[in-house]
Structure 1
Amino acid sequence: MAQLKIYAKPSNLYRYRPLGPKAEQELNALVGHYIYCPAFSVMNDPMEGLYRPSARFTQNPLGEKSAARVHDALQKTGIASLSEVFDHEPMWAHYADQFAGMCVQYNVNRLLKGLDTKIALTRMMYSESEPVLLNDKSLAVDRARLCLSSKTVRWASEREWRLFKDNQGEAHYRDPKTVTKIFLGSRIGEADESAVRAACRALGVPVVKMAIDAYSLTFRSALTIRRKPSP
């Protein structure tokens, strides 16, 4: 049987994060060198984890192939969403607190080398129909990940990749240089900006801040940001 391979992967992946009340937990993740993987039930898409069982799959009410085992695996699985792009306006609005948050850049090779071997990184599939569970030899955890690897085509512009962990919690990476840049939103508060910059100075991670130019986004370092003159 032929093998399915992904030969081309992005050099970097990006994670949009809110700050404000969640600033401490996001900075803890940066300083602690981990990505937090919550349950799929906290995701903003109510269609997450849905699937269609095949006729033969429904004939296995018990055991590894049962819907009950898949349900249990879905409830236990931890997920972290990343994107191939850092300048996607809707994602800044939806996932980075209306442009008041940040976007973390991860080097993909360092991330993969530094994560536990049980953690998987997969590219999302976008389709007009939900995934189908077949009566094959797949484990329940693999079936759960299949369900969570598919979204409707309306989400395709996010160009999402996902980290999968067998249980919810912290996915630690070993190389502290995995995070290579932080992008700040244009509406970030002064306290949050100061806290992020202080943490990144300690980590040796460069920080750039968004500037709005009509319908375009640009990012500048602190040295090149032009402050508006005081009235």
Structure 2
Amino acid sequence: MLVYKYRGGAFKRDLESLQKDQFWASNTQQLNDPCEGLVSINNYEKQIETLKLIFPQQAKHTVMLNQCFQNIIDMKDQKLGIFSLSKNYNDELLWAHYADSHKGFCIEYELNKLLKGQNPKHRYFDGTYTDNLPNISLSDILSKEDDNSLIRMMLGYKAKKWEYENELRIITENYGLNSYDYRAVKSIYFGLRMSDSEITKIMDTMKGRNIRYFKMKLKPNSFQLDAIQIEDKFPTKKRYKYSIAPIAERAVDPSTLKSEYKEFSPYLDKLAEIIRREADCIEVSYVDLSHSKSTLNHPIFFAQYKTKKNDWLTHTVHYSKQQIDEEYDKIDDL
């Protein structure tokens, strides 16, 4: 899935974030909508009062519940980060409001790559637009069915007037800077008023990353925008952060496969080749088929590898047969 972030008004800052493969997740107080995170607690308050009437001898427990609820509210406003993205790159209002009146740019991310490797994992969900505040109840707080439901209620609702943003939100465990896999950036769209010098600066800074570039134009006799692909001014064969890590001895051992899965043994080698090209991989430790997760119609493979960040701890990833085929076909230096 492709998602988009409009940038403008602070070119030096935005270019530095791009260069360093980082994004900033704001807390509710830093966003432009003063109603961010606004919720109704009428249901919760009524339920607490009912509990007090039914169980007057358990007053200390309702005090504890209230303190727990306040901690959740504080976390919402002071700890969690929000990275707001759109599903559209050609919305005139978004270009006007968030890209410095069309003088900025828009980054296209591949969502899976943007989320990949995050620990703890980021939550994400579509924005919900409504004329009514979400009303939090005691059951919402205590529910264990969906870990994201309470976060979505607190940070996923906005007034209907914001619906044009068509927003997808990533919620981070802490607000502030977050790093991502540089391959998450697939394309950059330049605003129709963006200066040639700034376009050149971005292309120069981002060279070697296999990024596509587009210039926004007005469609003839229309209010609508169109994206025209333009040439990279700095083509190069030197790739950014590209290396091929070693594969440990006996990391790939087809003899571990059960007889019914022997036909899939070539996929072990394919996955090893994919993983050794991961940006943070320093050694492929082990590759195998997950017998517990696989069926003959849907085999699942896994790889363990060491990273620069934790060379003493292996990182584990899972791939389907289709995913391996797709990623392996992209390799051009076998």
Q: Determine whether 1:24 maps to 2:12.
A: yes
2:2 aligned with 1:12, yes or no?
A: yes
- With structure 1 as the length reference, what TM-score do the two structures score? 0.81
Say if 2:89 is the partner of 1:89: no
Q: Which runs of 5+ in 2 are unaligned?
A: 49-61, 233-334
Secondary structure of 2:138's aligned partner:
coil
- The question of whether the paired residues in 1 share the 8 Å contact of 2:218 and 2:226 is answered with yes
SS state at 2:207 partner? helix
Counterpart pick for 1:131 among 120, 126, 134: 134
Tell me the residue number matched to 1:79.
82
1:220 counterpart letter in structure 2: I
Ranges in structure 1 where 5+ consecutive residues have no aligned partner: 1-10, 225-231
Match of 2:267 in 1: none
1:219 and 2:218 correspond? no
The alignment's C-alpha RMSD in Å is 2.5
Alpha-carbon displacement from aligned partner over 1:28-48 (angstroms, at most 9, x marks no partner): 222222221011212121211
Does 1:119 pair with 2:122? yes
Note the 1:100-179 alignment, pairs <5 A: 100-136=103-139, 137=142, 143-174=150-181, 176-179=182-185
Aligned to 1:157, the other structure's residue is in SS state: helix
- 1:132-190, CA deviations, whole angstroms, 9 ceiling, x for partnerless residues? 1111215999745521100122212211010101211122223x211100001011133
Give, in whole Å, the separation in 2 of the partners of 1:159 and 1:191.
31
How many angstroms apart in 1 are the aligned matches of 2:231 and 2:179?
Answer: 32
For residues 36-64 of structure 1, the C-alpha deviation after alignment (integer angstroms, 9 at most, x for no partner) is: 10112121212111100134446355447
2:167 is matched by which residue type in structure 1? E
Report the Cα distance in structure 2 between the residues aligned to 1:25 and 1:114, rounded to whole angstroms.
25
Higher relative contact order (CA 8 A, sep 6+): 1
Alpha carbons 2:5, 2:108 under 8 Å: kept: yes
For these two proteins, the number of residue pairs brought into alignment is: 211
Matched to 2:211, the amino acid is: V
Q: TM-score, normalised by structure 2?
A: 0.57
Counting only pairs closer than 5 Å after superposition, residues 184-195 of structure 1 correspond to structure 2 as 184-195=190-201
C-alpha change, 1:23 and 1:54, in structure 2 (3 Å) is same
Per-residue displacement from partner, 1:106-128 (whole Å, max 9, x unpaired)? 11222232433431111111122
Contact 1:62–1:68 (Cα < 8 Å) also in 2: no
- 8 Å contact from structure 1 (residues 145, 164) kept in 2: no
Distance 1:138 1:131, change over 3 A: same
Spell out structure 1 runs of 4+ moving beyond 6 A. Answer: 139-142
